[in-house]
């Protein structure tokens, strides 16, 4: 990494708009000096250079004689701050104008506007957190369900870092042993070393496989399940979407083919985030507009993680149903036997035999069966409850790629041992594995990668 920049940055750390409070964050070598020029204690003149760290000080922010706001100011001296630098937070009244005015005044007196994610980037550059923890901060901000919050919080506390660092220490020990033995063969023997190295690498590969396999759950946790509702016209797809949303979002009529295009919504069902799409009813039609809708419905189904096939239980299955059953054959799907409030002409057993998927009886009209649908999705994607106390889940695509590369390198070491390659040859792949793991926590990563990661952050964080 390049040298650490220590100039002073400032940003509004709270969302824009009317609110009870707004926070302007200032960090860097001149943070205390800049705010000290603007802050006036309410009862006595307060010197921010002498106030205790991490305590609130009541007063006003003024630009000369101009009063900007009554505030509470906290000084957090480095390295015991978020950025590990001297940091000052100005707590003012919420509102776009007042926070903007105070920020402009702080900049006027010597700070510069912070870039997106720059506060967290400085925390990383100063060694307060590693790169995986920095990414967990962003994941925590964007978490859309309970599982994502818990997973991100654990990674922020270092769950990924600890595992990665432990494996790196083990690899580094083996590298050092080989190098020492090659440099001093009279005192350090490599006789039988390959067997002991295998005893180290095989459990490590098992741990890597376990972490990599958790990434499928991690994707679901962090991004949600891409879900498509399929069914023939008037099966009750839009009614089901409205029930899941808890509001009348999709248009529902008795006219077949009302839904002509894909309607996408985001819902949280039992703590699981669904990116759910209501599609046009699938049927053979000569209507050109409806044909486009049917085509888009099929394309959405091809890209889906989960298909909810809604069957109109009040009428027999027909050719349109047969078409849909072919679409869902090799897909993760739940079949919803809808309109159970009416006299059914389709039996659950018949439907299960035809589709080969889980059948759940529901009534979109009576709003029944949703609990069973929730349980089926949880069992299908999360394999039951996730215990965040002892389960490490990889939610970052970059981490997964690095773990896979590390595993590949360690497998190459094993192949070299089995092929009888000399010990110095083993160090090449061991070093690669060490570097791949290091890239997860930010060891020896390129500046442009770091910049790309932090530019995804929101302003003020």
Residue range 9-129, CATH number: 3.30.1360.120
pLDDT in tens, 230-276: 888 888 888 888 888 775 544 333 434 444 445 677 777 766 778 88
State the pLDDT confidence band at 422, using cuts at 50, 70 and 90: confident
> Range with the lowest mean pLDDT among 69-83, 277-291, 350-364, 381-395?
381-395
Q: What's the confidence (pLDDT) of residue 145?
A: 62
Residue range 224-381, CATH number: 3.40.50.300
pLDDT in tens, 319-343: 888 888 888 888 888 888 888 888 8
Q: What's the confidence (pLDDT) of residue 260?
A: 41
pLDDT over 60 at 201, yes or no = yes
Tokens for 27, please give them.
Answer: 């960090």
Q: Which one has a higher pLDDT value, 194 or 271?
A: 194
Contact in structure between 252 and 238 (CB atoms under 8 Å): yes
> Range with the lowest mean pLDDT among 123-127, 186-190, 332-336?
186-190
Q: Which one has a higher pLDDT value, 8 or 319?
A: 8
Whether the model clears a pTM of 0.75, i.e. scores above it, the answer is: no
Number of other CB atoms surrounding residue 426 within 10 Å: 22
From its phi and psi, is residue 52 left (phi > 0), alpha (psi between -120 and 50) or beta? beta
Quote the strand ranges of 231-354, DSSP E. Answer: 263-269, 272-278, 306-312, 333-338
- Angstrom distances, CA of residue 161 to CA of 114, 131, 336: 27, 9, 43
For the chain, which residues make up each domain, given as ranges?
A: 9-129, 137-220+396-441, 224-381
Percent of the chain surpassing pLDDT 70: 85
State the pLDDT confidence band at 433, using cuts at 50, 70 and 90: very high
Residue range 137-220+396-441, CATH number: 1.20.120.430
pLDDT over 70 at 390, yes or no = no
Q: How far apart are the first and last CA of the chain?
A: 21
Average pLDDT of the residues in 185-208: 90
Q: Which one has a higher pLDDT value, 81 or 283?
A: 81
Q: Which one has a higher pLDDT value, 330 or 428?
A: 428
Measured CA angle at 413 (ends 411, 417), to 5 deg: 115
Q: What is the C-alpha to C-alpha distance for residues 189 and 215, in angstroms, rounded to an integer?
A: 40
> Range with the lowest mean pLDDT among 155-164, 181-190, 418-427, 450-459?
450-459
> Range with the lowest mean pLDDT among 12-16, 278-282, 298-302, 383-387?
383-387
Q: Is 52 exposed, middle or buried (0-12, 13-18, 19+ CB in 10 A)?
A: exposed
- Is there a common fold for 9-129 and 224-381? no
pLDDT in tens, 148-171: 666 667 777 778 889 999 999 999
Q: What's the confidence (pLDDT) of residue 15?
A: 85
């Amino acid at each position: 990494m390049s040298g650490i920049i220590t100039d002073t940055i400032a940003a509004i750390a709270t969302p824009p708009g009317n609110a009870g409070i707004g926070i302007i964050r200032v960090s860097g070598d001149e943070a205390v000096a800049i705010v000290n020029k603007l802050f006036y204690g309410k009862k006595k003149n307060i010197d921010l250079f002498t106030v205790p760290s991490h305590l609130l000080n009541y007063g006003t922010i003024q630009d000369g004689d101009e009063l900007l706001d009554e505030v509470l100011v906290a000084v957090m001296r480095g390295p015991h701050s978020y950025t590990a630098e001297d940091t000052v937070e100005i707590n003012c009244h919420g509102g776009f104008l007042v926070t903007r005015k105070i920020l402009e005044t702080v900049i006027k007196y010597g700070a510069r506007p912070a870039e997106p994610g720059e506060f967290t980037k400085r925390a990383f550059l100063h060694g307060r957190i590693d790169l995986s923890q920095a990414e967990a901060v962003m994941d925590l901000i964007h978490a859309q369900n309970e599982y994502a919050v818990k997973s991100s919080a654990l990674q922020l506390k270092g769950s990924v870092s600890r595992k990665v660092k432990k494996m790196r220490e083990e690899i580094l020990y083996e590298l050092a042993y080989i190098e020492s033995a090659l440099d001093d063969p009279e005192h350090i023997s490599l006789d039988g070393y390959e067997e002991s190295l295998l005893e180290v690498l095989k459990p490590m590969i098992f741990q890597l496989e376990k972490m990599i396999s958790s990434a499928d759950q991690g994707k679901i946790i962090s991004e949600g399940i891409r879900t498509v509702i399929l069914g023939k016209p008037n099966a009750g797809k839009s009614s089901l979407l409205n029930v899941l949303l808890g509001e009348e979002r999709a248009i529902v009529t008795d006219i077949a083919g009302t839904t002509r295009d894909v309607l996408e919504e985001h819902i949280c069902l039992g703590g699981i985030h669904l990116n759910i799409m209501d599609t046009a009813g699938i049927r053979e039609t000569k209507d050109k507009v409806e044909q486009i809708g049917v085509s888009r419905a099929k394309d959405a189904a091809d890209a889906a993680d989960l298909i909810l096939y809604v069957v109109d239980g009040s009428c027999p299955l027909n050719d349109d149903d047969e078409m849909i059953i072919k679409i869902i054959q090799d897909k993760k799907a739940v079949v919803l036997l809808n309109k159970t409030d009416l006299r059914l002409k389709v039996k659950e057993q018949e439907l299960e035999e035809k589709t080969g998927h889980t059948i759940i009886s529901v009534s979109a009209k009576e709003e029944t069966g949703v609990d069973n649908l929730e349980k089926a999705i949880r069992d299908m994607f999360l394999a039951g409850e996730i215990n965040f106390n002892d389960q490490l889940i990889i939610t970052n695509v970059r981490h997964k790629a690095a773990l896979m590369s590390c595993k590949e390198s360690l497998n190459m070491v094993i192949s070299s041992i089995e092929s009888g390659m000399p010990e110095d040859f083993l160090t090449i792949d061991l070093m690669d594995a060490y570097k791949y793991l290091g890239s997860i926590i930010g060891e020896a990563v390129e500046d442009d990668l770091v910049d790309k990661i932090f530019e995804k952050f929101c302003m003020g964080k």
